[in-house]
Structure 1
Amino acid sequence: MCILRKTTAALLTLLVSIASFTGIVTASTSASISKKLSVDVISNYSSLLPGQSVMVSVKISNIPSDHKGLRSAKIAVSYDENVFSSEDNIRFDKALGKYIWRDDNFFIPSKTFETADYHIDNPYPEDFNPADGRKEVVLSMSALNSKMIDSTADEAFISFSLTVKNEVKIQNTLINIVSEGTMLQDTTGASVHSYGTISKQLLVGAPTPKRIEIVRGTISPSSDPFKLIVNNGYELNALAIFDNGDTAYVTEQASWETTDPQVIATLGRGSLQTIGLGNASVMATLGTMTGKHEVRVYLANAPELIEKPVVYYGIQTKIPNEKSFAAAKVVQIKVNGKTAEPGRLFDSAVFVPLRSVSKLLGVDTGYDSIKKLPTIDGKTIANCYTFSGVSYIIARNLTSLLGADMQWDKNKTTLMITSSAKKQ
């Protein structure tokens, strides 16, 4: 089947420095200083665009290692309901009789907590005080098999998504732990009341970019003209670059124009259609800032179309064994703004779960029982690797297999994947 048209990454990361404005106190107790049991809100993001989704993670740090270590935790996370929305991230569960976070909008980022020794429920929404302008997300985890909640790896046990409302103006906001709805229990069943919390401060809204670059896919900006084939459709991105060097894709927020509609036509959201031979420019405007890039349209067999190969992330192909793969660094993966199962980073290559990513890209996978390999559109995927019963492919192969574009976040902890027109 044909893959869904690329949903341009308007929800991708805007990582704008917040050092220039006065911060809010974000820690009721500093766990790093006091070494006191602490419940922490963390995120890879510091700033967010209107309409952008953000993954919020929670971890419990400095857990006592003695016989009174933690057995269970119920944690309430509070956010400003005028800034964030969760409506698109939840569903009603008939069996539970309440709304819970959809499976594709939360995940367990740690291999430690994915085992049978722990049980983690879907987060669910609450509103403890309807008059305070805030809402809560309740998270639950319990240790099984006579185990304790272990934080020796200093890992978050859950991540869930919130979405910044489109009408939000530039402002500071805080995501924090609240005592109401939060309950920690040790291995004797006694409640643990002595703990600190660390909150997450964010800047929401969008400052004016320094400039806008128009790029193909996630390839770095270049002044070279785009060389395109006549009578074809293409997908472009508008990349906003800010004074401090941070970047964000603003493709869907930008308005698109062309200098010569007889050569190229813009269909909005970065979609481009080549109409006739010749040169023209495509422009993307966000607020008062406009980016412009030259486009040259040729016949299909024109020698000018020969391009040098593009080098993508993770060019090595060393394959891990089961043990080394399990120990590899966890990589968060978002597909068209939705959370996929996590991948692993091994020897500079990112391995992504084929079925989870394919599903979010709108592509059905199958299985060839004779060759014992997964399939896409009936074709077997030879370069596929199975660990613990899950099939993985190396991320750089997503472009040729699924027509997908990729982009790392600033800290290279989240691989963001967007779909594009599938290559025939």
Structure 2
Amino acid sequence: MSLQKQVSVEKFKSKRAKLGIVGLGYVGLPLMLRYNAIGYNVLGIDIDESKVERLNAGQSYIEHIAAEKVLAARQSGFEATTDFSRASECDALILCVPTPLNKYREPDMSFVINTTDALKPYVRSGQVISLESTTYPGTTEEELLPRIQESGLVVGEDIFLVYSPEREDPGNPDFETRTIPKVIGGHTPACLEVGIALYEQAIDRVVPVSSTKAAEMTKLLENIHRAVNIGLVNEMKIVADRMGIDIFEVVDAAATKPFGFTAYYPGPGLGGHCIPIDPFYLTWKAREYGLHTRFIELSGEVNQAMPEYVVGKLMDGLNDQGKPLKGSKVLVLGIAYKKNVDDMRESPSVEIMELLEAKGCDIAYSDPHVPVFPKMREHHFTLSSEPVTAQNLARFDAVVLATDHDKFDYKLISDNCKLIVDSRGKYRQPAAHIIKA
């Protein structure tokens, strides 16, 4: 064991290491809380001054993360900063930054590249740098490795480079950061050894793989598996609907098979920071190798068409009542990308809102987790959440159930709405004013 590797491993195992978490969002913030809770000195680094100010004041800006936890972390030594030069204080730098798509549906690596460039002057011997952002196979080697090597440090001897994909599932009460197994790949065997020492203190099970590329591909496979299966069941939903069959009843029945079947349920499209995006990372990279990932791209086309399908169902429902879509008052129920969270990233609900607005609808929304429509990079609505009361529901010509939060009173909604377009299968009993979408 090289001396530097030995020193680094022992620092992590003894919890004498200081950790820097770069990007304090849905991935970075829970990771910070976990490391802080087990006794590490943690520094949070983010470019968003408002986030840093709120964290340093002991406040949370993510609904499912209690402010009390942030305050406790603050009181036990956690600090947030926008000063990237302080990265030199840290023995580990864990990068949890966004990897969205650009307008051409190609990987936007600007956050990863800009963050690495901002850290580059401050990297030093003994550090481990871990990328957790979901990305295409080869990112760690092609983007991070050459930038780190510019410092003159030898990766695998002086400094250590790993890729360990995040696996957060916001709002899922059955799992937390500690209990979700952590896949990790190192640029060299020494990098992997130091990376394991970093993560095994905080995570119950660490799963080493042979390379950073294998770890990057693992994350893509996990999410593409979901995207493809959701695309399949969304397509089957359309077929079943045309045949007069309830797809939710069918999936429930199929799920009783104790082997060889996993239940996936249809919806209004894909949302979140991974499932709608990750397939495009692989299809983009595959083209470099002369490959065309037809199966993956087809599922993407199916899922992207779902908001239009929901709007089409709404048009049919209004038409049956002698009302045009243009000028109708429509309430979208739930604008987070999935139930019981406040996460708006890539939410199909927002796309439905935009489609309806473009067709002349008078749009409103109700979401108990999103009281005011947030500032987003691509979507702009100046709206606040409508109260779900009998009197207010009766004002609308139709409601579109886009995200099935548990906080909604579904009986109240059914009793007081003229028309419900249900894209989540919450209403299983047929009713004249409920359309399954």
Q: Do they fold alike, i.e. is TM over 0.5?
A: no
Q: Which structure has the highest strand share of the two? A: 1
Q: Which structure has the highest helix share of the two? A: 2
TM-score (norm 1): 0.29
